[in-house]
C-alpha cells in the first residue's frame, strides 16, 4: 500500500549472435502505477553492464509511451522483438559516450540506510559487497553495537538499482532459519553529493567500538551534518 510491488521476470531472447540471451528484468511498480513509470533493473550474464543499462534506457523510453496504461507485458514483448537492434546500437554509441563529459549525467548521489539486524551476517555482508561492486558504488557498511548503517555513493541510477535489490532479494534468514527479504530497512537520507562531501574511493565493511569512532568516519568524509541529523536518534 505504501511501497508498491516488485517482481522479477526472466525471458530468453534468441537471434543474438546465434545464442540465447537470458534477460533478468526486475520491475518495481510504485503505488501510483501506471500513472507513474516503473523502476526497471536489467541483468544478464550474456551482456555487458553498459548493454544492460542501454536496454533499461530503451525500456523506460517505451514505458513513457504507455504512461497511464498497464505496460509491463508490452515492454516484455517489445524487448523480445528489439533486443538485437538495441545491442547493435549500444556498440555504435559506446565510443561516443566515453567522450561525453560527466556533466551530462545525473550527478553523484548518496544513500544512507539503517538496517535493524542481520541474522546471517557473513552471507548478508558478502551480498552487500557484491551489489556495491557490481553497481560501482563506494561507501561503508558500518557496525557499531546494534546499529547497522549502509552509506553508498554513486550514479543515481545505480543507487536506485541497489535499493530495489535490497528490498526484493532474500538477503537474510528469519528466526526459523528460512531465507527472507529485508523488511526492517529504513532509508534515512537520499541526496546528491555536494562539493563539501568527500568521495569514498572504495566500499569497505567497518566495525566501530564507540559512537565517537563512528562520528569521526562521517566527519572525515565531510558528512558531519548527515551524522548529527540521522545517527544520534539511533543511539538512544
What does the pLDDT read at residue 215? Answer: 95
| Residue 213: domain span | 108-234
Q: What's the whole-model pTM score? A: 0.57
**pLDDT value for 91:** 58
pLDDT at residue 193 above 90?
no
Taking residues 20-39, report their average pLDDT.
89
pLDDT at 97 over 50: no
Position 182 confidence tier, pLDDT thresholds 50, 70, 90? confident
Q: What is the pLDDT of residue 95?
A: 41
- Which of 5-9, 92-96, 204-208 is the least confident region? 92-96
For β-strands 138-144 and 147-155, DSSP reports them as: antiparallel
pLDDT at residue 3 is higher than 80: no
pLDDT, position 192: 87
Helix, coil or strand: residue 63: helix
The predicted model gives 88-115 an average pLDDT of 61
- Classify residue 236 as exposed, middle or buried by CB count within 10 Å of its CB (0-12, 13-18, 19+): exposed
The three-class DSSP label of residue 69 is coil
Nearest CA to 194 out of 233, 226, 162, 227 is that of 226
Per-residue DSSP letters for 93-125?
Answer: HHHHHHHS-GGGS--EEEEEEEES--SSHHHHH
pLDDT, residue 174, reads: 84
The CA distances from residue 133 to 32, 54, 124, 166, 204, in Å, are: 32, 19, 14, 14, 11
Instruction: Output the domain CATH number for residue 54.
Output: 3.10.110.10
Model pLDDT, residue 209: 95
CB burial of 48-57 (b: ≥16 within 10 Å; e: otherwise) equals: eeebbbbbbe
**Confidence at residue 196, expressed as pLDDT on a 0 to 100 scale:** 75
pLDDT higher than 60, residue 106 = no
Q: What is the pLDDT of residue 18?
A: 62
Same domain, 123 and 230: yes
Residue 60 lies in a domain: yes
| Number of independent structural domains in the chain | 2
pLDDT bucket at 219, cuts 50 / 70 / 90: very high
Q: 143 and 230 in one domain?
A: yes
Is the torsion defined by CA of 178, 179, 180, 185 positive or negative?
positive
In this structure, the answer to whether residues 14 and 82 fall within a common structural domain is yes
- Ordered alpha helix ranges (H), the chain: 49-65, 72-99, 121-134, 156-168, 211-220, 224-230, 232-235
Q: What are the backbone dihedrals phi and psi of residue 32, each rounded to the nearest 5 degrees, phi first?
A: -85, 0
> Residue range 111-130: average pLDDT?
93
d(CA 32, CA 54): 25
Radius of gyration, alpha carbons of the chain = 19
Ramachandran area for residue 222 (φ above 0: left; ψ -120 to 50: alpha; else beta): left
- pLDDT for residue 190 is more than 80: yes
152 and 212 housed in the same domain: yes
Contacts of 101 (CB under 8 A, 6+ apart): none
Band of the pLDDT at 50, cuts 50, 70, 90? confident
pLDDT of residue 12: 87
Whether 59 is covered by a domain: the verdict is: yes
Domain membership flag for residue 100? no
pLDDT exceeds cutoff 50 at 67? yes
Q: What does the alpha-carbon distance between residue 79 and residue 132 come to, in Å, rounded to a whole number?
A: 27
Amino acid at each position: 500500500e505504501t511501497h508498491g510491488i516488485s517482481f522479477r521476470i526472466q525471458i530468453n531472447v534468441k537471434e543474438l549472435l546465434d545464442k540465447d540471451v537470458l534477460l533478468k528484468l526486475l520491475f518495481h511498480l510504485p503505488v501510483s502505477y501506471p500513472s507513474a513509470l516503473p523502476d526497471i533493473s536489467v541483468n544478464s550474464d550474456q551482456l555487458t553492464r553498459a548493454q544492460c543499462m542501454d536496454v533499461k534506457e530503451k525500456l523506460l523510453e517505451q514505458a513513457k509511451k504507455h504512461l497511464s496504461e498497464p505496460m509491463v507485458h508490452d515492454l516484455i514483448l517489445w524487448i523480445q522483438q528489439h533486443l538485437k537492434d538495441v545491442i547493435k546500437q549500444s556498440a555504435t554509441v559506446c565510443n561516443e559516450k566515453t567522450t561525453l563529459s560527466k556533466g551530462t549525467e545525473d550527478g553523484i548521489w548518496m544513500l544512507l540506510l539503517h538496517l535493524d539486524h542481520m541474522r546471517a551476517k557473513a552471507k548478508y555482508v558478502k551480498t552487500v559487497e557484491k551489489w556495491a561492486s557490481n553497481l560501482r558504488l563506494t561507501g561503508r557498511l558500518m557496525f557499531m553495537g546494534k546499529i547497522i548503517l549502509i552509506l553508498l555513493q554513486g550514479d543515481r541510477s545505480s543507487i536506485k538499482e541497489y535499493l530495489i535489490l535490497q528490498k526484493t532479494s532474500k538477503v537474510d534468514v528469519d528466526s526459523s532459519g528460512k531465507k527472507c527479504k529485508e523488511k526492517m530497512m529504513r532509508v534515512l537520507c537520499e541526496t546528491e553529493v555536494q562539493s563539501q562531501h568527500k568521495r569514498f574511493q572504495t566500499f569497505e565493511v567497518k566495525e566501530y567500538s564507540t559512537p565517537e569512532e563512528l562520528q569521526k568516519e562521517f566527519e572525515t568524509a565531510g558528512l558531519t551534518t548527515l551524522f548529527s541529523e540521522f545517527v544520534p536518534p539511533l543511539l538512544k
